[in-house]
Amino acid sequence: MDSSFRAVKISDSVYWVGAIDWGVRSFHGYLTSRGTTYNAFLVIADKVTLIDTVKASFGEEMMARISSVIDPSKIDFIISNHSEMDHTGYLPQAIQAMNPSRVFASPMGQKALGMHFHWDQEIEVVKTGDKIDLGNKTLSFVEARMLHWPDSMFTYLEDEGVLFTNDVFGMHIASSERFADEIDLSVLKYEGAKYYANIILHLSPIVTKFLEKLPSFNLDMKIIAPDHGPIWRRDLNQVVEWYSGWAEQKPTNKAVVVFDSMWESTAKMARAVGDGLTENGASVKLMPLGGSHRSDVITELLDAGALLVGSPTINNQIYPTVADVMNYLKGLKPQNLIGATFGSYGWSGEAVKHLDQIMQEMKVNLVQEGLRVKYVPAEEDLATCRDLGAAVAARLVSTRNQIDG
């Protein structure tokens, strides 16, 4: 066993025994520029308990970190807070190696684990309010259904106020630091927002309800320990307040202009639209898809008020990179946006109509019908593009004024 992997103590009886994935750059379509961690936690109590495991390929790292504290065969209980394989990939091997007397999951977790591993392993079901006795410590449970899977669950170590929240409050950062207070706050806020936008955004109404209900569970939280990224031991309200704000999606005067181009015509239109927005008081983010990832587009939209999309027409369709982004954005259901579409075309020019259709399905409030230019935009076409930007900016400013009252 590689002894360079050590556990990190996070409270009197809890150790971080997870793994650091410095190299991962794609998390099913989400660009994880900073890598990630798969956090697992070991509770040293009369009944030694492991909370979550890691992605299968990182099992040896977890086992080495556990071994730096205790012989893994001494683990009595394993709790699975969430069935997704970044936390359960190594679970079957862990069960085999540790031979725990009991394994726990939520009701939906029990079912999901069965459908992942097709095993005869007994999984005991725990529900909100249930407790398990570790002898000298007590764990209790709060189901967090659809945050972000039906099986998702929080585990709470009552004696030390440690709340293990699985994906919720997590972020994709690989770092040698284990605690949020050791990492730059702007990095935490950006990566936290990116995680929220890409994984949780479409579940925002559930987040709002869950956060409203959270005080009723009487959790005296001293540590929030998610399964990705740093652990919060100070200013716990910070990350909770961020979630509350992101769930609200209050529109700002920011306009995100997403586009791609075949021969620079739609790009010229995008720049003119951007000028019209800027000159009329909007804060503009131009995102050419040659250099912008879909997961960065949705992150920018999290605090935006407008989405403008430009695409050339290719074979009667939306340009492939733009279609990809629209498919991704539609699934994540950003709210409270106004918008517009535009694009250059050669002869039939369907892309803009298709985009308008998708924007309507996304409930984006279109300021006007999509703007099309045949072949290469002339000066007067670019002036029309600036007018489009100006019209969207004017609507943004009036919406902001209504919100600000």
Cβ burial of 157 (10 Å; 0-12, 13-18, 19+) is buried
Within residues 160-189, the interface with ligand FEO by CB under 6 A covers: 167
Q: Does 227 bind ligand FEO (CB under 6 A)?
A: yes
For residues 52 and 300, which CB has a smaller minimum distance to ligand FEO in the complex?
52
Taking the complex as a whole, how short is the minimal distance between the CB of residue 83 and ligand FEO, in angstroms? 8
Residue in the shown chain whose Cβ atom is closest to ligand FEO: 84
**Distance in angstroms between the alpha carbons of the first and the last residue of the chain:** 63
Region of 84-92, 267-275, 315-323, 355-363 interacting with ligand FEO (CB under 6 A): 84-92
Residue pointed to by tokens 């954005």: 329
Q: Would you call 86 a catalytic residue per the annotation? A: yes
Total site size for ligand FEO, rule CB under 6 A: 9
Cβ of 61: how many Cβ atoms within 10 Å?
Answer: 22
Query: What does the alpha-carbon distance between residue 187 and residue 340 come to, in Å, rounded to a whole number?
Result: 31
- Contact predicate 382/272, CB 8 Å: yes
Region of 40-48, 82-90, 214-222, 294-302 interacting with ligand FEO (CB under 6 A): 82-90
Q: Does 87 bind ligand FEO (CB under 6 A)?
A: yes
Region of 13-21, 83-91, 118-126, 324-332 interacting with ligand FEO (CB under 6 A): 83-91
Q: Would you call 143 a catalytic residue per the annotation? A: no
Taking the complex as a whole, how short is the minimal distance between the CB of residue 80 and ligand FEO, in angstroms? 11
Residue type, 209: K
From 52, 84, 296, 300, active-site residue: 84
Q: State phi, psi for 289 to the nearest 5 degrees.
A: -75, -10
Q: What token pair was written down for 308?
A: 């403008």
Taking the complex as a whole, how short is the minimal distance between the CB of residue 228 and ligand FEO, in angstroms? 6
Q: Pairing relation of β-strands 26-27 and 41-43?
A: unpaired
Residue type, 385: C
Q: Does 194 bind ligand FEO (CB under 6 A)?
A: no
For residues 61 and 356, which CB has a smaller minimum distance to ligand FEO in the complex?
61
Q: Would you call 202 a catalytic residue per the annotation? A: no
Q: Does 52 bind ligand FEO (CB under 6 A)?
A: no
Among residues 61, 86, 191, 356, the one that binds ligand FEO under rule CB under 6 A:
86
Which residues neighbour 368 within 8 Å (Cβ) at sequence distance 6 or greater?
340, 388, 391
Taking the complex as a whole, how short is the minimal distance between the CB of residue 85 and ligand FEO, in angstroms? 8
Taking the complex as a whole, how short is the minimal distance between the CB of residue 30 and ligand FEO, in angstroms? 11
Q: Would you call 381 a catalytic residue per the annotation? A: no
Q: Would you call 354 a catalytic residue per the annotation? A: no
For the chain, what is the largest distance between any 2 Cα atoms, rounded to a whole number of angstroms?
78
From 52, 82, 90, 151, active-site residue: 82
From 167, 260, 356, 381, active-site residue: 167
Q: What token pair was written down for 370?
A: 């999509």
Q: Does 82 bind ligand FEO (CB under 6 A)?
A: yes
For residues 20 and 318, which CB has a smaller minimum distance to ligand FEO in the complex?
20
Query: What does the alpha-carbon distance between residue 53 and residue 42 come to, in Å, rounded to a whole number?
Result: 10
Cβ burial of 41 (10 Å; 0-12, 13-18, 19+) is buried
Taking the complex as a whole, how short is the minimal distance between the CB of residue 147 and ligand FEO, in angstroms? 10
Q: Pairing relation of β-strands 313-314 and 317-318?
A: antiparallel
Which residues neighbour 336 within 8 Å (Cβ) at sequence distance 6 or greater?
249, 250, 251, 305
Omega cis (within 30) before 82:
no
Taking the complex as a whole, how short is the minimal distance between the CB of residue 84 and ligand FEO, in angstroms? 4
Query: Is the CA virtual torsion 297, 365, 388, 303 positive or negative?
Result: negative
Q: Where along the sequence are the contacts to ligand FEO (CB under 6 A)?
A: 82, 84, 86-87, 148-149, 167, 227-228
Which residues belong to the active site? Answer: 28, 82, 84, 86, 148, 167, 195, 228
